[in-house]
């Protein structure tokens, strides 16, 4: 089992064609928070060869229509960002005793689950990496998929496939949801789909954005609507290792960025007026933040609107980045000048270039690939109110991170789940789930008996 885990991790990091290399019936690790700590993987993606799935290493270009004039009328939401965010009164003042809680089995039978969304009525949509959207109803996996787009999803590489979902803020009225997947060419695709009557028609797809991916790995994959009503898209640096084309710092590239678009205006979208390069001068208009290596998972605190990004590191450090709600775009999170808060490339940043270090980091003695999570805002576990939970894909460890009233951070290991943590999920009431990619299972965070 330990050897198998090592092989799996090596494959994950290498972005190889997993389906050709790994046995389909490998035994998953048991999802329980009492699992013993795993041996620390030593594999890194430093020796990656470029993928054969991408033929064109040229500067990626979006194939979306030319962005329209900056939109002055952002989609209104009831949760407008606060310019001077304050912590909700219910936020706890310290990290709680982890033994109060347990990651309990919730559902199983899934194939490489990658993301989750709550559509109400006890139904969770769960993405399967090969291209199915499944329905888990009150913990039971339904046989009929919600959507099947396996015909257009390329999932040969371990970081490729159907990767992210975001429901439109008015999903209950318009049935719109958004998916992020790598297509049959390995290129990032962000599309709008429409649901009705408990399922979605593959023919309803409207492609918003396609970004050329020069290598099979580092595709990002997350989607989330911010408190401003705009859709944020996490883009990795394109792949290989060490960001050989320096996309993270190239404002002419969409790779290595967090993008921000307005999906309710324009054709197929509009650029928010306060994007840092909204007029197209100095950088691509879709860019919100830069200097990211592989922001596999990011989320917004549903109470404050604060942004948390889990940015996967190279050989040594994993990091959590933070942007307070209401602060301007244009933050540069440092890659490849820095790996987390540590120097990476031999080049020095130019004078005057401000880089923003993470609020938490951990070395590869404690994991190997960070999976960003969520700030807990549910009702069942008030001791966790305001705690950001995040994990490591390779060893299943889960940390708690808490922003204290004075702006400092408390960070501590809380759980050893033993899961291959591909993602965390949040339901409509704010309760949290963990997705075990290898076991095909969902775990739910509950109070220990």
Residues of this chain that bind Ca ion (CB under 5 A): 213, 215, 218-219, 238-239, 333-334
Q: What angle do CA 79, 82, 88 make, to 5 degrees?
A: 80
CB of 216 to Ca ion, least distance (A): 6
CB of 167 to Ca ion, least distance (A): 25
Do strands 123-128 and 113-120 pair parallel, antiparallel, or not at all (unpaired)? antiparallel
CB of 218 to Ca ion, least distance (A): 5
CB of 178 to Ca ion, least distance (A): 20
Q: Residue 213 or 222: which CB sits closer to Ca ion?
A: 213
Q: Which of the 8 DSSP states describes residue 416? A: E
Q: Residue 107 or 249: which CB sits closer to Ca ion?
A: 249
Q: 241: burial class by Cβ within 10 Å (0-12, 13-18, 19+)?
A: buried
Q: Residue 139 or 343: which CB sits closer to Ca ion?
A: 343
Which candidate, 32, 92, 78, places its Cα nearest to that of 377? 92
Structure tokens at 385: 């109110």
CB of 97 to Ca ion, least distance (A): 31
CA 250 to chain centre: 21
**Contact (Cβ atoms closer than 8 angstroms) between residue 30 and residue 105:** no
Coil/strand/helix, residue 196: strand
* Gap between the Cα atoms of 386 and 359, Å rounded: 15
- Complete edge-to-edge strand list for the sheet that includes strand 231-234: 223-225, 231-234, 258-261, 287-290, 331-332
* Gap between the Cα atoms of 208 and 68, Å rounded: 13
Q: Residue 195 or 368: which CB sits closer to Ca ion?
A: 368
Q: Residue 237 or 416: which CB sits closer to Ca ion?
A: 237
Q: Residue 243 or 436: which CB sits closer to Ca ion?
A: 243
Name residue 120's beta-bridge partners.
123
* Gap between the Cα atoms of 70 and 388, Å rounded: 33
Q: Residue 28 or 239: which CB sits closer to Ca ion?
A: 239
**Contact (Cβ atoms closer than 8 angstroms) between residue 181 and residue 132:** no
CB of 239 to Ca ion, least distance (A): 4
Q: Residue 215 or 433: which CB sits closer to Ca ion?
A: 215
CB of 358 to Ca ion, least distance (A): 6
Coil/strand/helix, residue 436: strand
**Contact (Cβ atoms closer than 8 angstroms) between residue 297 and residue 263:** no
Q: Residue 59 or 79: which CB sits closer to Ca ion?
A: 59
CB of 335 to Ca ion, least distance (A): 5
Which candidate, 405, 179, 428, 412, places its Cα nearest to that of 302? 428
CB of 236 to Ca ion, least distance (A): 6
């Amino acid at each position: 089992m330990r050897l198998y885990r090592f092989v799996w991790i090596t494959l994950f990091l290498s972005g190889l064609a997993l389906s050709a290399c790994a046995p389909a019936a490998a035994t998953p690790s048991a999802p329980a928070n009492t699992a013993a700590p795993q041996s620390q993987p030593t594999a890194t993606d430093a020796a990656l060869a470029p993928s054969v799935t991408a033929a064109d290493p040229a500067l990626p270009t979006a194939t979306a229509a030319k962005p329209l004039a900056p939109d002055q009328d952002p989609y209104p939401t009831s949760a407008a960002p606060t310019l001077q965010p304050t912590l909700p009164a219910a936020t706890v003042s310290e990290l709680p005793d982890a033994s109060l809680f347990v990651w309990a089995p919730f559902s199983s039978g899934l194939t490489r689950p990658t993301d989750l969304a709550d559509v109400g009525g006890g139904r969770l949509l769960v993405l399967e990496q090969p291209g199915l959207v499944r329905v888990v109803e009150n913990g039971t996996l339904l046989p009929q998929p919600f959507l099947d787009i396996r015909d257009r999803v390329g999932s040969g590489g371990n970081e490729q496939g159907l990767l992210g979902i975001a429901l439109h803020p008015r999903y209950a009225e318009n049935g719109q949801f958004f998916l992020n997947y790598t297509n049959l060419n390995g290129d990032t695709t962000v599309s709008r789909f429409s649901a009705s009557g408990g399922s979605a028609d593959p023919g309803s797809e409207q492609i918003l954005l396609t970004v050329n991916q020069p290598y099979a790995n580092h595709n990002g994959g997350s989607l989330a609507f911010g408190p401003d009503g705009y859709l944020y898209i996490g883009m990795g640096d394109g792949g290989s290792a060490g960001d050989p084309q320096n996309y993270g710092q190239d404002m002419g590239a969409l790779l290595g960025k967090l993008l921000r678009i307005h999906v309710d205006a324009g054709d197929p979208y509009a650029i928010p007026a306060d994007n840092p390069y909204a007029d197209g001068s100095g950088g691509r208009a879709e860019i919100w933040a830069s200097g990211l290596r592989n922001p596999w998972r990011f989320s917004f605190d549903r109470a404050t609107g604060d942004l948390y990004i889990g940015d996967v590191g190279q050989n040594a450090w994993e990091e959590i980045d933070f942007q307070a709600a209401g602060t301007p775009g244009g933050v540069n999170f440092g890659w490849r000048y820095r790996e987390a808060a540590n120097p990476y490339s031999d080049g020095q940043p130019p004078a005057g270039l401000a880089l923003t270090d993470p609020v938490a980091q951990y070395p590869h003695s404690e994991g190997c690939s960070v999976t960003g999570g969520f700030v807990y805002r549910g009702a069942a576990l008030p001791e966790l109110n305001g705690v950001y939970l995040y994990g490591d894909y390779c060893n299943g460890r889960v940390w708690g991170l808490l922003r204290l009233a004075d702006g400092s951070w408390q960070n501590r290991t809380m759980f050893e789940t033993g899961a291959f943590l591909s993602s965390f999920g949040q339901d409509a009431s704010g309760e949290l789930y963990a997705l075990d990619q290898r076991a095909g299972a969902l775990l739910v965070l509950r109070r220990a008996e």
